[in-house]
């Protein structure tokens, strides 16, 4: 099979590899479509620090086959003898990690916080294997390319659920693919968010998708535009991007008593300065959002099946597996929104 192998920053080669052997509890999946995630870009650029890439198997060369490629959708072509609920020919998506099911977090349904979780995805290859317990069956009437959004949408839904139920004014920082997904998820909850984005093309793209409150936080009248929406700040703010600047911005526009959700990771690692009294007296709540739980994924699949979000409009370019380097570079350029890899 063909698979992507990592040989250093910006150096990926598509090589011939053996098709993975499965055990009795695994399935072999033929890859159809993969969405490129910011996490994949960090690895491509050599920005280690993700739990996935601190693992010894993610070094360089053929041991890295398939990279991460966790936004994958495909068809089961082989099953182990202990596999239940799934059969050859089923289209599936999968969790990006295994979890123990025994710790206090797993027992509370917080599988994303399991201290024993391990990354399992190797999607940038023609075939990959997954333990069947971490699969999600796709309905027959779902669009396969759209289904590659299942994992990122599940992560988004997990974050949006943290916004307080009585929130009226919510802001999203960043209008990249994840920021747009977050904004659509908020709309499904009846909230029309303000989107803060410095890139003019991305603000225009958000406008074309129906989001009218797009603001450049670097403009001189930025604060005036915010006050036209909300006098005291936003009930909820979700930063889809990491970094000191976006995080300081997000906290500054959060209303007293409001919720600031850090969704995007910060790599290379950085730190923000925080005045404890500013939190103490304003009662602002700062929280993170990472990964998803089982129900988030099932909910995402149903939203995709019903076509409640115009996902095809978010995908602005598709590449073949052999063009993976070019695909990554197109994401880094900032000229594209969601980029997908068509393997099958």
Query: Does the pLDDT of residue 52 top 50, yes or no?
Result: no
CATH code of the domain in which 303 resides: 3.90.180.10
- The mean of the pLDDT values for the chain is 92
Task: Note the pLDDT of residue 56.
Answer: 56
Task: Note the pLDDT of residue 50.
Answer: 47
Task: Note the pLDDT of residue 59.
Answer: 63
Task: Note the pLDDT of residue 58.
Answer: 56
Q: Clarify whether residues 259 and 235 are in a common domain.
A: yes
- Helical pair 294-305 and 150-160, crossing angle rounded to 10 deg: 110
Task: Note the pLDDT of residue 205.
Answer: 97
CATH code of the domain in which 216 resides: 3.40.50.720
In a domain, 158, yes or no: no
Q: Clarify whether residues 15 and 134 are in a common domain.
A: yes
Q: What is the arithmetic mean of pLDDT over 47-53? A: 52
Query: Does the pLDDT of residue 53 top 70, yes or no?
Result: no
Query: Does the pLDDT of residue 42 top 90, yes or no?
Result: no
Query: Does the pLDDT of residue 164 top 90, yes or no?
Result: no
Q: Clarify whether residues 13 and 126 are in a common domain.
A: yes
Task: Note the pLDDT of residue 295.
Answer: 95
Return contacts of 322-325, CB within 8 angstroms, 24+ apart. 322/2, 322/14, 324/4, 324/12, 324/14, 324/124, 325/10, 325/12
Task: Note the pLDDT of residue 63.
Answer: 76
pLDDT digits (tens, 9 = 90+) for 55-64: 555 567 787 7
pLDDT digits (tens, 9 = 90+) for 168-198: 899 999 999 999 999 999 999 999 999 999 9
Domain that holds residue 135: 2-153+292-342
Total structural domains in the chain?
2
Percentage of the chain exceeding pLDDT 70: 97
Contact by Cβ (8 Å): 65, 111? no
Contact by Cβ (8 Å): 283, 184? no
Query: Does the pLDDT of residue 49 top 70, yes or no?
Result: no
Q: What is the arithmetic mean of pLDDT over 254-265? A: 96
Smallest CA-to-CA distance from 49 within 36, 38, 35, 34 is with: 38
Smallest CA-to-CA distance from 315 within 92, 34, 30 is with: 34
Task: Note the pLDDT of residue 299.
Answer: 98
Smallest CA-to-CA distance from 151 within 37, 265, 319, 50 is with: 37
Distance CA 186, CA 21 (A): 42
Q: Clarify whether residues 297 and 148 are in a common domain.
A: yes
Q: Clarify whether residues 112 and 232 are in a common domain.
A: no
């Amino acid at each position: 099979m063909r698979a992507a192998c990592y040989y250093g920053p910006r150096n990926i080669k598509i090589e011939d590899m053996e098709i993975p052997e499965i055990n009795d509890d695994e399935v072999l999946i033929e890859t159809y479509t993969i969405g490129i995630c910011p996490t994949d870009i960090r690895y491509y650029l050599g920005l280690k620090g993700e739990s996935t890439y601190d693992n010894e198997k993610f070094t360089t060369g053929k041991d890295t086959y398939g990279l991460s490629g966790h936004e994958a959708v495909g068809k089961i072509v082989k099953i182990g003898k202990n596999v239940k609920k799934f059969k050859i020919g089923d289209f599936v998506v999968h969790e990006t990690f295994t979890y123990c099911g025994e710790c206090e977090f797993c027992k509370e349904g917080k599988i994303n916080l399991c201290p024993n979780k391990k990354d399992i995805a190797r999607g940038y290859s023609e075939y990959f294997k997954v333990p069947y317990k971490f699969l999600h069956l796709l309905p027959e009437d779902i669009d396969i390319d759209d289904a590659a959004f299942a994992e990122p949408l599940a992560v988004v839904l997990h974050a949006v659920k943290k916004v307080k139920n009585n929130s009226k004014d919510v802001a999203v920082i960043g209008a990249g693919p994840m920021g747009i997904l977050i904004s659509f998820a908020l709309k499904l909850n009846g909230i029309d968010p303000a989107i803060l984005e410095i890139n003019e093309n991305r603000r225009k793209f958000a406008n074309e998708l129906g989001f009218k409150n797009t603001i450049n936080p670097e403009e001189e009248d930025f604060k005036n535009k915010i006050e036209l929406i909300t006098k005291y700040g936003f009930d909820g703010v979700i930063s889809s991007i990491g970094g000191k600047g976006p995080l300081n911005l997000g906290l500054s526009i959060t209303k007293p008593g409001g919720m600031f959700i850090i969704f995007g990771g910060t790599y290379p690692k950085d730190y923000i300065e925080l005045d404890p009294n500013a939190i103490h007296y304003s009662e602002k709540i700062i929280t993170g959002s990472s990964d998803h739980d089982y129900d988030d994924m099932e909910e995402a699949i149903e939203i995709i099946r019903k076509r409640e979000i115009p996902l095809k409009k978010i995908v602005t370019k598709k590449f073949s597996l052999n063009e993976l380097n070019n695909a990554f570079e197109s994401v880094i350029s900032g000229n594209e929104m969601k980029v997908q890899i068509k393997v099958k």
